[in-house]
A = this chain, B = another copy of it.
């Protein structure tokens, strides 16, 4: 059984050597974003890959009622926009900086040239993509089979940044509710339950995870009853 709290989607950059990363920085164009600044819009078609150098990017989609359906936080070393380089697909998500953030932008053409010259970039990208795909399917599966409370817990686990970063999610309950596909009232009640259990604490536009591993233990125990099922690669 995979330990979600300790399972980390190893980011792209960590599959590369120091020299290879240096080359990327040579080719790319570094840009600074202020907290909350808009990075890209869903549907944008121009091709290019971006790598988070410092800070974090918040990926999601704006829903019909204006809420933001968060998909994930992208931390240092993570990439986005690979779709536009290797396929004809437009960008799938809206992105905004979460805190002061530096992004390394590389044009699609340039990145492809790099990959051809040095396949290590492709290996790294493939690995990172597979890991992220794993998590995406994991979430998809959670939505399908987990009862509400464990489902909320699981999302919190997935979204919570790793230590030593502060284990606190800075988002509105209404947005998290939209992300999970449920009403704000239901989400609040679930959070209330988790708070009663001492696993999290609610704040104004923030949720603090008191102890990630305790939350994970609680989740493991509850999933055990329901029987845990893991999704993988497929989806043709």
Q: Which of A's residues lie within 8 Å of B, judged by CB?
A: 2, 9, 11, 42, 59, 61-66, 69, 71-75, 78, 80-83, 86-87, 89-93, 115-116, 119, 122-123, 125-127, 129-141, 143-145, 178-181, 226-227, 229-236
Q: A93 to chain B: which residues have CB within 8 Å?
A: 137, 231-234
- C-alpha spacing A143/B155, complex, angstroms: 14
Residue in B62, B116, B233 whose CB lies within 8 Å of A65: B233
Q: How far is the CB of A106 from chain B (nearest CB, A)?
A: 15
Q: A136 to chain B: which residues have CB within 8 Å?
A: 133, 136-137, 140, 235
Q: A141 to chain B: which residues have CB within 8 Å?
A: 61, 69, 71
Count of this chain's copies in the oligomeric assembly: 2
- C-alpha spacing A82/B89, complex, angstroms: 22
Residue pairs across A and B with Cβ atoms less than 8 A apart, 15 shown, are: A59-B232, A62-B230, A64-B229, A69-B141, A69-B144, A71-B231, A80-B233, A82-B126, A93-B231, A115-B119, A132-B236, A136-B137, A140-B143, A144-B178, A144-B181
Q: A90 to chain B: which residues have CB within 8 Å?
A: 2
Q: Is the CB of A91 within 8 A of B232?
A: yes
- C-alpha spacing A93/B78, complex, angstroms: 26
Residue in B72, B87, B116 whose CB lies within 8 Å of A234: B72
- C-alpha spacing A129/B129, complex, angstroms: 7
Q: Is the CB of A145 within 8 A of B86?
A: no
